[in-house]
Amino acid sequence: MFGKKKNVPQIDKEQLELIQNAQKRIKQKKRLYAHFVVFLIGALFLILANTVLGIGKNFKIAEIEWFVFAILLWLFFLLYHIFNVFVTHKFMGKAWEQKQLDKLVALQKNRIEKIKTELKKEAPHIAKSEVYNEQLNNKKTQELTIIVAAAENNAIGKDNKLIWHLSNDLKRFKTLTNGHHIIMGRKTFESFPKPLPNRTHVVITRQQNYKVPEGVITVNSLEAAIEACKTDAQPFIIGGGQIYEQAMNIADKIELTRVHETFEADAFFPEIDTNIWKETSNTFHKKDDNHKHEFSFITYTRK
């Protein structure tokens, strides 16, 4: 099945015949040219043999030197050779050549038509694969980012509310997600008093007629949510627990605020597998007047 492909000659019989004839003709002309050169040298040699070396000085026919007859005889053979090449063996007459040319043109036209039909058949497949590649490139250039604040025990919320208030964490969330799409589960969306400004909300729900304020997008799956963000180079998955769980397999980055305490909760962030995720930055923050708990901003990227 995967053996070496047999080498089938790509040239047809008529083309081959044409090429062979052309090669034959070149050989004939080359031989004639060689004959002509040898004749010139030979004739010169005969003249010199008689006039300089004195060979057959006294041999004359009708008062004419013998070498003249020898040269004339040779010239006759040369002319005969020329006649043979250009007349007797001129098998490629104008009409014949034209016929061959017409055949060749017809053949090529046929081939072009065949290729055109094949191309027409292939066009939809090519177009599909181009779209696929475009989508693939879009995917590659898009950085799907999870943003979350999780306690040491991965607690993220209780009774559909956040457990802590950390003003720097909220500021960071605002800065990072500003101007982007934010993807969330229906429950997280309902935990907001109103949609956050300057962000496109994409809410995932299984409900078909879920009512949302103008500008909020609703979808029925995580895949549809990502599709809705395809123009955004960095859409954010902002929770909650159910959506994080599903997004962990497809996200490219995690922006985690690790709150260094343990809390009672009913919503949790999944365990971060360090075989899959690589920590690329880590900034620790102490407790202060605005922050009741110690926390760290940690960035992970997929290995």
Q: Which residues bind ligand NAP (CB under 6 A)?
A: 148-149, 156-157, 160-162, 184-188, 191, 204-207, 220-222, 238-243, 246, 267
- By beta-carbon proximity to ligand NAP, the closer residue of 84 and 207 is 207
CB of 201 to ligand NAP, least distance (A): 12
Omega before 215 within 30 of 0, i.e. cis? no
Least Å from the CB of residue 198 to ligand NAP: 18
Cα gap 158→177, rounded to integer Å = 23
Which is nearest to 297 in space by CA: 168, 165, 154, 167? 168
Closest by CA to 184, choosing from 173, 168, 169, 172, is 173
Question: Do residues 155 and 268 make contact, with C-beta atoms less than 8 angstroms apart?
Answer: yes
Q: Which residue has the tokens 């070498």?
A: 67
Query: Least distance from C-beta 175 to ligand NAP, angstroms?
Result: 15
Q: How far is the CB of 227 from ligand NAP (least distance, A)?
A: 13
Smallest distance from ligand NAP to CB 226, Å: 12
Q: Is the dihedral of CA 199, 287, 254, 219 positive or negative?
A: negative
Measure Cα distances from 132 to 20, 204, 252 in Å: 48, 25, 20
Q: What residues pair up with 61 in beta bridges, in sequence order?
A: 64
Q: Rounded CA gap, 88 and 47, in Å?
A: 32
Question: At closest approach, how far in Å is the CB of 243 from ligand NAP?
Answer: 4
Q: How far is the CB of 229 from ligand NAP (least distance, A)?
A: 16
Q: Which is nearer to ligand NAP, 46 or 225 (CB)?
A: 225
Tokens of 49: 């043999």
The Cα-based distances of 78 to 25, 53, 168, 207, 239 in angstroms read 17, 26, 105, 101, 99
